[in-house]
Each structure stands twice: as structure tokens, then as C-alpha cells.
Structure 1
């Protein structure tokens, strides 16, 4: 589990007003680079704040998942605008997004692992003790997430981050049009996906790391296409659907691989080692099957990863 130390979120000096109710997109092809950042960031921030506040009274699966997704989207957005935000500012913000996503993800990871263990149990594995222990680990992760992610702190941090970003962008690119910039950033994300998918496809032995890299690159490209669809040329809906399909296959594999790592690294004092080993054996069998399916999907897109070119959209 990727959790950093318990350290407080930075407190802002000035608040950037966040609209809690996501508004309709006001992007157009004549919008400036600076103005589009605010339009794109506000709905995602509103989602993150709402989910973070909900953690104090709820611990539902979807809440943790959507909170992690919101922070991932913010990371993609900051990457897109990084040429004008600057390397240092982008790194500082995205590292905090990554940390918060990891804290929220701790509960989400145990949700996934618990579902897989119950599937193994239904398939005949004698792992009742481990299933119960995983439920306890999930409860502990909820308490950790609730202690680390406070709605007021998250909102204050995001207010400050967006205010600083908006101020920087207004001083550097307030009068520059968005369309050419958006298309350029999307092309860079496409090339990264193409490079990683081909590397995974050409490898004689598929590596988990290669598939994980393809998954991350695909997510970034999909988020950027969704963000910028009002200002780039039309016709990218099929690309988003294809990326989503590939992500589903890669996600199924990643869930099993991550759950095996999580269970292997956890301490289960009340569970006999042979029970843990039985679950890991079942997960390994499932992982091999899912890896083959994911590898086939990556090979299928590797030769046409460059096809969703914004110049042809």
C-alpha cells in the first residue's frame, strides 16, 4: 500500500472560490488557455471536495473510487498545463494529488481484494479466515482514510492550488488560444501511449510493469480527450470508447495483481500461512489468465495507437 507519513495538508493564505455544483462547460475554440483551466478544474474539484466530505459519514465503495479518480484527473490536467504552470509547481501539486489518491485508494484496494477473495471462496477455496481478516483490514483502511482526508483541509488545499495555478496562467498565457495547445498536448499523450503499448507488445515475455505503464498512459489520454472535447476537432468519441475498453481489460488484470501484492505484504496474525498461500495460488492463476487477455488487447492497439490523431478528428 502506497501511503506516506501522516503530515498535514498545506493551508492556503487566500481562498479560490469553489462552486460545489459542477457547471456546464464554457469551453470554446476561442477560449484562452488560462480561462479553460478554471472551467475544467472546477467540476473535478467540486467532485473531490464532495467525496472527501462524504468520507466523514460514509464508507461506500463508490465514494472512495470516485475520490481517487478525481485526483487522477487533476494530475492529468496539471500535466496538460505544465508548460505554463512550470515544472516545480506542477510537481508539487501532482505529488499531493498522488498522495491523497493513495490514501483514498487504501480502502478501495481492500474492497477489490475482498471481492476477489470472496470469488475464490465461492470457487471452492477454504479461505474463510482470510476473507474475514480482509474485512477487518478494510475497516482499518477506512479509519485511516477518514483521519487523513478531511473535507475542509482538502477544499482548502485545492482552493490554494487552483488560485496559484490560475494566477500563473493568467500572467503567462491569458491571451493564447486553447485549440492548438490542446491538440499538441493530446498528441504528446498519444505518442506516450503508442510507445508504451508497442514496447509491451514487442516484449517476448509480457511484464506487469509494461501493462501498468500502458494503463496509465491510456488513462491520461482518455482524460485529456474528455477534458478538451469541446475545443478539438470532432470525432473522438470512438477513441474514448476504445480506450475505455482497453482500460477495462487492463484494470481487471491490475486488480488481481495489486490484490496479490497487497495480501502478500499484509500481516494476518489470526490466519494460518497455508490459507494465505491458497488464496495467493488462486490469484496467481487468475492473474495469468487476465494477463493473457490484457496482452492481447494491448497488441491489438499497439499498431494503431497513433490512429486517434486529433488532426483526423
Structure 2
């Protein structure tokens, strides 16, 4: 479950937009800290930390979208999506190196083909890292100030009228129920060899998982814990499938071959 050094206190009777403002502010602060670290050093764990922080914020923006003005909800979906995507290519190369190439080299030390692939992967990762840092350097000017301004407006009641929404407790239960329904539909439509659908199922599962973590205080504890455990187990299984598909794509890129159709981008 999500942890904080100074946990936020949510109340079932509070307005959903107020809960969103508090939770999103904490995630924006975490993203700001990640940007500070990434500006001064180049470490695998720092890229991963940014990915996790932006995914949390993306899940919040999606969960609370019905309680936000339509224009604001669209803006958050777009801008947080851009933040989340910025570190994606670097993270893919990191996972490829750590979970595919390193184990292969442990089994076949000094293999010239593997070493050549590792060199190519390192060069591609360095290129992606430079592009990521250039994108993130702009984030302090845009979109972070726009997102922070929206939170000020939400707290002050400035700007477009808020949609009618129940209190946080009923709102959270409805969002979880609707997302579970959609997950079941995606699961029925997904096939073992359809990595695109499996990737979509994994993303939607992450949204629900992070929603449960953020709103655990206002959801039924027993049901939430059981569902969370089920989602973690499914995420682990789907993660292996998607990571293998991405590894195949990156290996093809290193070898100068066209990847098979339907692989995750």
C-alpha cells in the first residue's frame, strides 16, 4: 500500500475534488523531487522512481476525472500522460539490460554477440536519457505550473463549476466498481498472444491498483485488501509477458531487424 512520511487523512464525507487536490499535491511534490535528482545524476532507480510517481498521479487524474471540470480533467489526462511517457524509453532499456542481457551474460560470459548487443543497448539508452532530460528540463515551466494552478483553483472554488458528485466514500466505491467491470471486459477480450490487449489490461489494472492504494482509508478494508492482492498478482504475471515482448522489440532494434507486429511501443 502507498506510504507517506506524513500520511494524508481522507474522510468519507469530504468532496472528491478536495481529496484530489490533497492527493495530487503530494504526488506533484514527489515528482518535483524526482526531477531534482534526475537533473544531477544518472541512476536506474531514479528513473524508476519518476515512473512510479507519475503513474500514481495519472491514476488519480483518471479516478477523479468525473469530479473535475471537463476541461481540467482533459488537461490533466494529457499533461500527466506526457510526464509519465517522458521516462518510458529509458526505463525500457534499463529493464532490458538488467532482466534480459545481464542474466544471458551470466550464463555465457564473454559472448561476443551478447556483448555487442549490450554496447548497442547502452548507446541507445544514453540517447534516450539525453532526450528524457531535455524534456524534463522543461517541466518546471510546463506542465507542472499549470497543474499546480489547477489545484489552487480547486481549493479556492475559482474557475468552471464542479460537476455534481457524491461524497468521497460513495464516489470511491462507484469508481472502483466501474473499473472492475471494465477490467472483466478487457480480460475476456484478451488473448494470450495478443500483447497489445494484454498491455491495455495491465495499464487498467495499474490504475485500479493505485486507486485502491490512494483511497484505502475510505474503502471497505477487507474487500480492498483482497482485490489489491489479486491485482498485484495479475500485474506480476502480465508484467513478465509485456517485459518479454518489449525485450524482443529492443533486441530486434539492436540487431537492426524489424520487430514482429503487435509488440508494445
TM-score higher than 0.5 here?
Answer: yes
Query: Cα–Cα, structure 1 residues 249 and 175, in superposed 2: closer, same or farther, change >3 Å?
Result: closer
Equivalent in 104, 129, 140 of residue 152 of structure 1: 140
Q: CA deviation at 1:120?
A: 2.5
Superposed, 1:159-198 pairs within 5 Å as: 159-166=148-155, 167=157, 171-172=161-162, 176-198=166-188
Deviations 1:3-39 (A, max 9, x none): xxxxxxxxxxxxxxxxxx9632120122222221122
Distance 1:76 1:121 in 2: 37
Q: CA deviation at 1:175?
A: 8.8
- Structure 1 stretches of at least 4 aligned residues deviating more than 6 Å after TM superposition: none
Q: CA deviation at 1:233?
A: 1.7
TM-score (normalizing by structure 2): 0.83
Is 2:217 aligned against 1:230?
yes
> Which ranges in structure 1 are unaligned for 5 or more consecutive residues?
1-20, 282-286, 288-313
Partner of 2:79: 96
Partner of 1:243: 231
Conserved 8 A contact 2:54-2:83:
yes
Query: Cα–Cα, structure 1 residues 70 and 27, in superposed 2: closer, same or farther, change >3 Å?
Result: same
TM-score (normalizing by structure 1): 0.71
> Which ranges in structure 2 are unaligned for 5 or more consecutive residues?
none
Distance 2:24 2:218 in 1: 15
Distance 2:5 2:136 in 1: 21
Conserved 8 A contact 1:93-1:161:
no
3-state SS of 2:221 partner: coil
Distance 1:230 1:169 in 2: 29
Q: CA deviation at 1:190?
A: 0.6
Partner of 1:299: none
Distance 1:33 1:53 in 2: 30
Query: Cα–Cα, structure 1 residues 39 and 237, in superposed 2: closer, same or farther, change >3 Å?
Result: same
Superposed, 1:31-42 pairs within 5 Å as: 31-42=14-25
Partner of 2:104: 120
Query: Cα–Cα, structure 1 residues 225 and 130, in superposed 2: closer, same or farther, change >3 Å?
Result: same
Conserved 8 A contact 1:32-1:177:
yes
Equivalent in 188, 208, 221 of residue 208 of structure 2: 221
Q: CA deviation at 1:169?
A: 9.1
Aligned residues: 249
Let me know the Cα RMSD of the aligned residues. Answer: 2.8
Partner of 2:248: 260
Conserved 8 A contact 2:24-2:57:
yes
Query: Cα–Cα, structure 1 residues 131 and 165, in superposed 2: closer, same or farther, change >3 Å?
Result: farther
Query: Cα–Cα, structure 1 residues 93 and 176, in superposed 2: closer, same or farther, change >3 Å?
Result: same
Segment drifting more, 79-88 vs 98-107: 79-88
Distance 1:102 1:25 in 2: 27
Conserved 8 A contact 1:107-1:141:
yes
Conserved 8 A contact 2:205-2:235:
yes
Partner of 1:300: none
Distance 1:140 1:59 in 2: 13
